[in-house]
Structure 1
Amino acid sequence: MKAWIVEGKFGIASLKLAEREAPRPRAGEVLVRVRAASINYRDLMVIDGVYNPTQPLPFIPVSDGAGEVVAVGEGVARVRVGDRVAGAFIQGWPGGRGAPEVMLGSTLGSPRDGVLAEYALFDEGGAVVLPKHLSFEEASTLPIAGVTAWRALFVDAAVRAGDTVLVQGTGGVAVFAIQLARAAGARVIVTSSSDEKLARAREIGAHDTINYKATPAWDERALELTGGVGADVVVDVAGSTLPRSLNALRPGGQVSLIGLLAGATAQVDVVRMLQKKARIQGIYVGSREDFDDLNRALVQHRIRPVVDRAYSFEEAPAAIEALRGAAHFGKLVIRGA
């Protein structure tokens, strides 16, 4: 089979198109013909050797993909040949709290081989049947971006109709958060440095937008927009912006911390946090159960993921570099070989 592999050393220059033997499913495994893969910032960090510098080489990168089941191992009953599925990012987390050692050791795209190949192996419990109204390209965006947004809003937080949700940015998780929060009846405020992206955010459901380059004190502007009350939930994808996210919260609100696009450290005013009774909740994607719940919501509200651009399989390095450039709105996708 054709596969993109990182070999020799980390870095995008070490991403090579190679021929590998197609895997065979063992007991409890599912073999999937990958029809589309979507890329996340984590994939870029893994390829660069930043996310998991102990990752053995060579390996197949990229965690999120969708396709059809072409073979199943002994004992598999949840899915069958011909089913359209995606792989849950954390293969070993079917539901509940999850065991950290199992969760960290069963993620696709590192340490397990990813989906940037003609075929990929999933655990039976890590294969999720897709909503019928979605294409493979759209469905490939769900495992990290969609599930993370779902958990940030409705599992580790409890967004309800009438709540205010502030979403940072217009990348994959952020766009899903806009769509899902709006569908739940929440008021959505979005921040970005691009007026063009903010206009697109309004088209998919944002009520209010803030250009943080024109308004660096975007947290104060968010307070103004909410009559001084603040947001019920802030979806923070930047990390280092945590102090402003906390300031933009209402008393008793929650920051769902999901990323580190602007840095991995932040100083927090503990007194201010105590006064606000604020909660900071780290989000590490979600379980297969969360994925199933997300899919039901997508079907109910007929939500379609936003794909900014789909690249051919041979253009995979260009797609990954485009992610680094951060000019996209929504998700970047790579078609299957």
Structure 2
Amino acid sequence: MARQWILASQKGFEASLQYHDNLPVPSATDLGPNSVLVKLHAASLNYREIQIADPNGLNGPIQTPLIPGCDGAGTVLAVGPSVTGFHPGDRVITYPAPDLASSRGDDAPASLADVSTMLGQGATGTLRSVGVFADTAFVHAPVSLDWLSAAALPCNWTTAWNVLFGVEGKIAKPGSWVLVQGTGGVSVAVLQLALAAGATVVATTSTAAKETRLKTIGAAHTVNYGDNPDTWGQLARGLTPGGRGFDIVVDVGGNQTLPQSLAAVRIDGLVAMVGAVGDMAAAPVPLFAVFMHTCIVRGVLCGSRAQLKQVVQYIDKKGIQPVVDDVVFELAEAKDAYRRLNEKKHFAKVVIRVDHPEAEG
């Protein structure tokens, strides 16, 4: 029997998430021409899941009920008659924007319009044990990773790849300095990819324990933004050679953190805006502020299906083991996973084991 979570409304995840088990498994004989039946072994959460469930979130209204989640990893059970890229037994991970890939190809970048059709928002998502998806909702999983690590890749690692390698002439390489904010999924993914590319990474955080862990996984320096709320950008800049500033700054906080990101970036450097996990009441930062910093500010909404394939290949080539949170949840505990993410108690990616422990293999 199948199991799944339903987002029944947008009244916040505590009130809106509902768990269902003992459901019939979809039939392989009823697949559409371009459909894939997949047994999911693991999933992971993004901050977007919190926002989608929130009536005041940035993602806006959606059609409920809906299965949430856009990140997952599993095994192909069956494919439709027109599917050529996958076969039963293949190990796969999800690509969060299958409609984008179907309509405009694997190289197409995501826009705001595409966000509304992503898995877990406009299409049924990954918080379930078995599901039918479009074939463009998958790429082959890295051969070097287990299910939990593989499930951490789709949204955050595609975003991280897009940040570091998505703009010609502004790529991470030996000699580059990269600044990441906090210890969430995107920031840790950027840290790991940038290190593999030979860059030097500085990370901000608010606790001594997380500073220690960031250094353990490769951060050259850390800056405590809790102790230096109005100066951490300049303090981080001072760590770069000659105080020149960072080649790439990854901004996850939005209006709350953007002024510090601009203070940290070097002349002609790149500020990548990838999230809005900061204080939503913070005063908006006018675009004119960029005029005073002589830099590029680029919004990044995940990335293309081709970029996800590239990061998969890079992980296998470089032997990267994605860092995930120490606490692993079972599918039935997904609401607890939401709580951990919402309370910012996690480090890197919050992951969920979909198989029962005795079925893991």
Normalised to the residue count of structure 2, the TM-score between the two structures is: 0.88
Asked if the contact 1:243/1:268 (under 8 Å) is kept, the reply is no
Corresponding residue for residue 239 of structure 2: 225
2:142 corresponding residue in structure 1? 131
Instruction: Report the 3-state secondary structure (helix = DSSP H, G, I; strand = E; otherwise coil) of the residue aligned with 2:210.
Output: helix
Q: Evaluate the alpha carbon distance shift between residue 153 and residue 101 of structure 1 in structure 2; reply closer, same or farther with a 3 A threshold.
A: closer
Q: In the alignment, which residue of structure 1 is the partner of 2:182?
A: 169
**How big is the shift at 1:184?**
0.6
Is the counterpart of residue 297 in structure 1 residue 299 in structure 2?
A: no
Q: Indicate yes or no: 2:200 matched with 1:182.
A: no
Structure 1 counterpart of 2:272 = 256
Q: Deviations over 1:229-278 (max 9, x none)?
A: 000010001012111101111100010000001145632473x6335321
1:221 match: secondary structure: helix
- The residue type paired with residue 3 of structure 1 is Q
- Tell whether 2:36 aligns with 1:30: yes
The one of 297, 302, 305 equivalent to 1:285 is 302
Name the aligned partner's letter for residue 326 of structure 1. Answer: K
1:247 to 263, 271, 276: 263
State the match for 1:58 in structure 2: 65
Q: Does 1:312 align with 2:327?
A: no
Q: What SS does structure 1 have at the residue aligned with 2:65?
A: coil
For 1:279 and 1:48, how far apart are their aligned partners in 2? 32
Cα separation, partners in 2 of 1:195 and 1:41, compared to 1, 3 Å: same
2:50 is aligned, of 30, 44, 55, to 44
Instruction: Classify 1:52/1:215 alpha carbon distance in 2 versus 1 (closer, same or farther; 3 Å).
Output: closer
The amino acid that maps onto 2:330 is: S
Distance 1:275 1:48, change over 3 A: closer
User: Equivalents in 2 of 1:100, 1:228: separation in Å?
Assistant: 35
Correspondence for 2:7: 6
Flag structure 1 segments of 5+ consecutive residues without an equivalent: none
Instruction: Indicate the larger mover: 249-258 or 212-221.
Output: 212-221
Contact 1:2 1:18 in 2 (8 A): yes
For 1:150, the equivalent position in structure 2 comes to 161
Distance 1:252 1:54 in 2: 38
Aligned equivalent of 2:358: none
Q: Is the 8 A contact 2:181 2:251 kept in 1?
A: yes
Identity %: 37
2:226 pairs with 200, 204, 213, which one?
A: 213
Is 1:82 the equivalent of 2:89? yes
Cα distance per residue 1:29-79 (max 9 Å; x no partner)? 111101001001001111224244421121111111100000111210101
Structure 1 residues 99 and 219: CA distance shift in structure 2, 3 A? closer
Deviation at 1:199, TM superposition (A): 1.0
Shift of 1:215: 2.4
- The corresponding residue for 2:20 is 18
Letter in 2 for 1:41: Y
Matched residue, 2:285: 267
Compute the TM-score of the two structures, normalised by the length of structure 1: 0.94
* 69-78 or 150-159: bigger deviation: 150-159
Q: How many residues align?
A: 336
For the residue of structure 1 that corresponds to 2:254, the secondary structure is: coil
Looking at structure 1, the residues matched to 110 and 331 of structure 2 have their Cα atoms a distance apart, in angstroms, of: 35
> Secondary structure at 1:225's aligned position in 2?
coil
Distance 1:41 1:179, change over 3 A: same
Counterpart of 1:121? Answer: 132
Q: Which residue of 1 aligns with 2:251?
A: 236
* Counterpart code for 1:73: G
Rounded to whole Å, the distance in 2 between the matches of 1:107 and 1:274 is: 34
**Greater alpha carbon shift after TM alignment, 120-129 vs 238-247:** 120-129
* Superposed counterparts of 1:187-206, under 5 Å: 187-206=200-219
Distance 1:207 1:109 in 2: 36
Indicate if the aligned counterparts of 1:243 and 1:269 stay in contact, CA closer than 8 A: no
Q: Please provide the CA RMSD for this pair.
A: 1.8
Amino acid at match of 1:224: G
Partner Cα separation in structure 2 for residue 42 and residue 83 of structure 1: 28
Cα separation, 1, equivalents of 2:76 and 2:126: 13
How far apart in 2 are the matches of 1:174 and 1:215? 19
Q: Greater CA deviation, 134-143 or 102-111?
A: 102-111
CA contact (8 A) 1:87 1:122 kept: no
Looking at structure 2, the residues matched to 98 and 326 of structure 1 have their Cα atoms a distance apart, in angstroms, of 29
Change (3 A) 1:102 1:80: farther
